[in-house]
Amino acid sequence: MHVKKLLILFLGLIGAGLLASPAMAAPHDTAGHTPSPTAGADPASKFDQKAALAISQGAIGKNLGDYTLTSADGRNLRMSEFRGKPLVISLIYTSCYHICPTTTQHLAKVVRTARAALGPESFNVLTIGFDTPRDTPSAMRQFALDQSVNIAHWEFLSTDAAAMAGLTKELGFIAYPAPHGFDHLIQATVVDAQGKIYRQVYGMNFDTPLLVEPLKELVFGAPTSPSLLSNLGSRIKLFCTVYDPSSDQYRFDYSIFIGFFIGLISIGTVSFLLIREWRRNRRRARA
C-alpha cells in the first residue's frame, strides 16, 4: 500500500515538473514561417516567390565552398577563415535604396541582441554584395557607413561573378534584374561552424528569435571541449537563455535551472523511498 502511494506521488512530481518548465519542453519551432514579399516586384519578372522559397529551403544541409572574397578595406578573405564559429550571411545590392538598407539595419539590431545573449565573439556576420559589377569594396564600405553598421566580427564583402554564381547557388539564393533593381527573396542564412547551412531566416523585419534561436542552438548546443563540466555549462545556458518579448531581449532565467535541480532532488528522494519500501516489504515477505 505504501509503495502504491509513493508511486502516485512520484508520478505527480514528474507531471508537475513538466508543466512548470514549458521553455525546456517546447523548443523553438521556426518551420512554417513565410518570407516577406519583395517590394515593387514587376509582374513581368521571372521571379517566382514560391519557387524561390523552395530553392532556398532546399539549400539547408549543404556545405559552402571555399570562395575568395574581398573586404571593404581591400583584404582577400576565404570562406574557410570563418569556420569554427556559426556564421550569418546576408546578400544585398548596394544600389538598393530601401529594402536592403532597412534589412541590414534590422539585422544589426538583432545581431546586437544575439551578441549580448550569446557572447561578443560567439558568431560572425557577412554582408555580401551580389550585384558584382557595382558592389565593389568601396561601394560596400559606403553601404556599411550609410547603415551605421560598425560591429566587430561583421564584414562587408565583394567577390567576382564566378564566385558569386557558385555561392548563390549553394545558399539557395536567386535574383532577377527588374526595373527597380532586382527581385529576390529577403533571406539571412545561418551556417554552422563546419560550413553547413543550418537555417534560413526570411523577411525585412523578422522576429528576433527567428535568428537568435538557431544561433543559440549552434553556440550552446554543440560540445566545445573535452571537459564534461564545460559542456554541461553550455547545455544549461542553452535551456536557461530565454527570450523576453516585452523587452525584445534575451536573459538567463535561473528559475528554470533551479526548478530542474529541485525536480531532480525530488525524483531522487522519491526513488530512494520507493526502493527502501520495496526492500522492507521483501524482507517482511521472507520473514
* Alpha carbon distance 203, 34 (integer Å): 8
The cell numbers describing 195, all together, are: 560550413
- Taking 90 as the threshold, does the pLDDT of residue 142 lie above it? yes
Find where cell 550585384 sits: 131
Is it the case that residue 23 has pLDDT exceeding 60?
Answer: no
Most confident of 37-51, 165-179, 221-235, 269-283: 165-179
Query: What values do phi and psi take at 21, rounded to 5?
Result: -125, 60
- Whether residue 267 sits in one domain with residue 186: no
Q: List, in sequence order, every residue forming a beta bridge with 69; answer none if it has no partner.
A: 77
**Percentage of the residues of the chain whose pLDDT score is greater than 70:** 72
Give mean pLDDT, residues 127-137. 98
Distance CA 85, CA 83 (A): 6
How does the average pLDDT of the chain come out, rounded? 80
Say how many domains are in the chain.
Answer: 2
Check whether 271 has a pLDDT greater than 90: no
Specify which residues 191 forms β-bridges with.
Answer: 87, 197
pTM of the model: 0.71
The answer to whether position 236 is within a domain reads no
247 is a domain residue:
no
Half-sphere exposure of 236 (CA within 13 A, CB side): 16
Q: What is the CA radius of gyration of the chain?
A: 25
Residue 6 belongs to what domain range?
2-22+254-286
| pLDDT tens digit sequence for 90-112 | 999 999 999 999 999 999 999 99
Are 136 and 220 part of one and the same domain? yes
